[in-house]
């Protein structure tokens, strides 16, 4: 059954998914800005990958308010760009609309659906990650019952307005924020339906009953490789060829793996396996380096600030990750002042 879909933020990640879903017959619109928006309106959105070259003609606007009710809303912008847009999604929301934040790092909704002791604040209310949602306005702007978690494993880049180049791997781990009770399993109907739609669109969906495990698994790589890439301007293959940089990456990974377990999740990998995954990516610029080269704000808090906050809350020392946070915060600040 065809879905009505809007991708808010049709950049590398969101734009790739928009083209795949549109070519599969879904009614897809995109929210974009500037030259990218103008190119999409004039020529469509073009996706280049090893399997070929596809162009999708899409309804495009810079205003979420221009779209009516949707079955699926994909949030494809950077995590720090989401807060001001959440109150603007109202015209697209129905009772059963799925909101899929395809973002890096720990998400603002992280504790939603979590029944563990760590999910409660000292006063017994639902915990939140303060550096991501300081006053709770994000949680208040969108009913979190709409959320289905998503972890993206795909390398892509906007190479020109209206053009995205991808590596051809469209793997999306998706799952409900509420993990099943110990000893039970199963997927919700909406996760199964979304996985089927992604599969039919030529993607590689991986539905899971434990989305937080998948979030941490990717974060272990992003929070180690991405800051090193931004600070050194090195691609993934160059980092992996440097013993000194790999030692630093390995140390950050080991801290994050310990934190993952402290919050009751399975990291799914050890440091050596996660490094091997990074090595297999090849000569790719991580998204943080791409943002730096374009003068854009960096994803400091979702990648580093949030895990450091959770570590301090749990009384866990993470000296290397804290050092990375300080360095990337300063780099981001200087880059934005110079812009």
Identify the pLDDT of residue 339: 72
Identify the pLDDT of residue 180: 64
Predicted confidence (pLDDT) per residue in 222-272, tens digit = 999 999 999 999 999 999 999 999 999 999 999 999 999 999 999 999 999
Question: Among residues 278, 282, 214, which one has the least CA distance to residue 246?
Answer: 278
- Is 218 a residue of the active site? yes
Identify the pLDDT of residue 282: 87
pLDDT band, very low/low/confident/very high, at 183 (cuts 50, 70, 90): very low
Global model pTM greater than 0.75: yes
Distance CA 339, CA 336 (A): 5
Q: Which residues have C-beta within 8 Å of that of residue 46, sequence separation ≥ 6? A: 19, 53, 54, 55, 162, 163, 164
Identify the pLDDT of residue 148: 97
Identify the pLDDT of residue 118: 82
Distance CA 263, CA 129 (A): 13
Distances (CA, A) of 74 to 7, 82, 116, 194, 325: 5, 11, 28, 12, 28
Distances (CA, A) of 31 to 9, 34, 110, 161: 6, 11, 25, 14
Helices (H) and strands (E) in the chain, counts: 12, 12
pLDDT band, very low/low/confident/very high, at 185 (cuts 50, 70, 90): low
Q: Is the pLDDT of residue 335 over 90?
A: yes
Q: What percent of the chain has pLDDT over 90?
A: 88
The helix/strand/coil state of 87 is: helix
Work out the mean pLDDT of the chain and round it to a whole number.
94
Identify the pLDDT of residue 295: 93
Active-site option among 20, 78, 218, 285: 218
Predicted confidence (pLDDT) per residue in 88-140, tens digit = 999 999 999 999 999 999 999 999 988 888 888 777 777 899 999 999 999 99
Q: Is the pLDDT of residue 159 over 60?
A: yes
Predicted confidence (pLDDT) per residue in 261-304, tens digit = 999 999 999 999 999 999 988 898 999 999 999 999 999 999 99
Tell me how long the chain is.
339
Q: Is the pLDDT of residue 6 over 80?
A: yes
Contact between residue 311 and residue 259 where contact means Cβ atoms under 8 Å apart: yes
pLDDT band, very low/low/confident/very high, at 182 (cuts 50, 70, 90): very low
């Amino acid at each position: 059954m065809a879905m009505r879909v809007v991708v808010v933020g049709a950049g590398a990640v969101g734009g790739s998914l928009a083209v795949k879903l549109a070519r599969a017959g879904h009614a897809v619109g995109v929210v974009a800005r500037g030259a990218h928006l103008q190119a999409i309106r004039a020529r469509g959105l073009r996706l280049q990958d090893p399997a070929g070259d596809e162009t999708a003609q899409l309804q495009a606007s810079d205003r979420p308010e221009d779209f009516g009710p949707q079955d699926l809303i994909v949030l494809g912008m950077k995590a720090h760009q989401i807060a001001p847009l959440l109150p603007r999604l109202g015209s697209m929301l129905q009772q059963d609309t799925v909101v899929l934040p395809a973002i890096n790092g720990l998400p603002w909704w992280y504790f939603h659906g979590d029944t563990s002791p760590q999910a409660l604040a000292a006063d017994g209310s639902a915990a939140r990650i303060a550096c991501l949602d300081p006053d709770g306005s994000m949680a208040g702007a969108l009913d979190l019952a709409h959320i289905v978690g998503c972890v993206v494993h795909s390398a892509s880049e906007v190479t020109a307005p209206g053009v995205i180049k991808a590596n051809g791997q469209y793997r999306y781990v998706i799952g409900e924020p509420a993990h099943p009770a110990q000893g039970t399993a199963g997927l919700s109907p909406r996760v199964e339906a979304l996985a089927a739609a992604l599969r039919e669109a030529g993607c590689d969906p991986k539905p899971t009953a434990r989305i937080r495990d998948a979030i941490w698994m990717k974060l272990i790589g992003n929070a180690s490789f991405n800051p090193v890439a931004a600070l050194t301007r090195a691609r993934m293959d160059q980092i992996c060829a440097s013993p000194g940089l790999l030692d630093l990456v390995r140390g950050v990974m080991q801290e994050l793996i310990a934190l993952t377990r402290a919050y009751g999740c399975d990291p799914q990998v050890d440091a050596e396996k996660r490094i091997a995954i990074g090595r297999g990516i090849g000569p790719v610029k991580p998204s943080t380096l791409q943002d730096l080269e374009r003068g854009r704000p960096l994803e400091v808090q979702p990648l580093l600030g949030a895990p450091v906050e959770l570590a301090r809350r749990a009384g866990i020392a993470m000296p290397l990750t804290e050092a990375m946070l300080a360095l990337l915060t300063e780099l981001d600040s200087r880059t934005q002042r110079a812009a």
